[in-house]
Amino acid sequence: MKSRYEAAKNVFVDSIDIDDYIELSSSVTAYKQLEHSMEKPLKMILLFGRPGTGKSILLNRLQEKLKHQKEIHYFDTPATNEKEFFHKLFKVLTKQDLPANTEVNFSALVNFCKNLRGKREILILLDEAQMYGSEMMEKIRLISDSRAVKFVVSLHKTDDEDLIAKEHFQSRIWEVIELKNATQSDQTAYIHKKLLKKNLFEIANSIKEKDMKLIHAFTKGNFRECNKLIFTIFEICEYYDENEPSKINYEHIPKRIIEMAALKLGYIHV
């Protein structure tokens, strides 16, 4: 018989699948802000935040919600080189494939975009844009100057704060939307909603408010770190459930298990 914790553990496998989207007050605010910004006459919009704050799943949701209303394309994985990126962009713009060994004429591509102005408005969601170099970002900016193609650029916030944004876009600020780590109340709602979505009511109820406070202290409200910690907590619970059930309290996850998970992940040290 499978442990009751196996399904709970798998709920927290890190994913950007739209089915895993959890609506929180902060994510609703960011989504509405992003949607509103797209209606403005802006060429580029910056979505900014540390890894694990939900940028990718927000872009994924935006594409899913608007794909029947707008000409919207989600570039989820950065191109490995400039040629690959412009082949992908060429297909979006012309709706045709370019032979693999053909180089894209950048000036011709920009002129093609200018001719689209007033006829089409193409929205491109660029995820992980910190992977693109400054020369590449400058070309993306030139394409956006056509006003036929609008970019939502998602960037990681680094320890240097907004250095990347300043380097590439200081002189042409569009709109900046920053995603931050979750508050304790939002993270609590996130954990509970993910479990309740899979009808894991007893498991959800076993994580008490003081446990949520401890989990938030370890993860600082970062969704990716939260997923890792909760997955590990349930993995430990699963082990005890299958091997030493007398050591499991099914009504309340013991503090020592949360600390064991935190120790395993390096949040605390012996």
pLDDT, tens digit (0-9, with 9 covering 90-100), for 103-155: 888 999 999 999 999 898 899 999 988 888 878 888 888 898 888 999 999 98
Note the pLDDT of residue 183.
Answer: 94
Note the pLDDT of residue 172.
Answer: 56
Question: In sequence order, what DSSP letters do the residues of 169-185 get, joined into one string?
Answer: HGGG--EEEEE-PPPHH
At which of 150, 179, 208 does a domain end?
Answer: 179
| 80 and 163 both lie in a single domain | yes
Q: Answer whether residue 111 is part of any domain.
A: yes
Q: Is the pLDDT reported for residue 161 higher than 70?
A: no
- pTM for the model: 0.85
Q: Is the pLDDT higher at 176 or at 231?
A: 231
Note the pLDDT of residue 190.
Answer: 95
| 201 and 78 both lie in a single domain | no
Radius of gyration of the chain (CA): 22
Q: Answer whether residue 186 is part of any domain.
A: yes
For residues 135 and 28, is the Cβ–Cβ distance under 8 A? no
| 37 and 125 both lie in a single domain | yes
Q: Is the pLDDT reported for residue 166 higher than 70?
A: no
- H/E stretch holding 89 reads helix 82-94
| 132 and 29 both lie in a single domain | yes
Q: Answer whether residue 270 is part of any domain.
A: no
Q: Answer whether residue 88 is part of any domain.
A: yes
Q: Is the pLDDT reported for residue 17 higher than 80?
A: no
| 44 and 175 both lie in a single domain | yes
| Tokens 């802006």 -> residue | 42
| 12 and 29 both lie in a single domain | no
Tokens of 165: 């944004």
Number of structural domains the chain divides into: 2
Note the pLDDT of residue 167.
Answer: 56
Note the pLDDT of residue 252.
Answer: 92
| 60 and 165 both lie in a single domain | yes
Its domain, for residue 251, covers 4-16+182-265
At which of 179, 210, 238 does a domain end?
Answer: 179
| 35 and 72 both lie in a single domain | yes
Note the pLDDT of residue 1.
Answer: 61
Return mean pLDDT, the chain.
Answer: 87
At which of 125, 150, 179 does a domain end?
Answer: 179
Q: Is the pLDDT higher at 172 or at 66?
A: 66
| 163 and 242 both lie in a single domain | no
Q: Is the pLDDT higher at 205 or at 82?
A: 205
CATH, residue 56: 3.40.50.300
Note the pLDDT of residue 136.
Answer: 86
Q: Answer whether residue 124 is part of any domain.
A: yes
| 159 and 187 both lie in a single domain | no
Note the pLDDT of residue 160.
Answer: 53
Note the pLDDT of residue 157.
Answer: 73
Q: Answer whether residue 64 is part of any domain.
A: yes
Note the pLDDT of residue 59.
Answer: 92
| 141 and 196 both lie in a single domain | no
| 118 and 240 both lie in a single domain | no
**How many Å separate Cα 52 from the centre of its chain?**
7
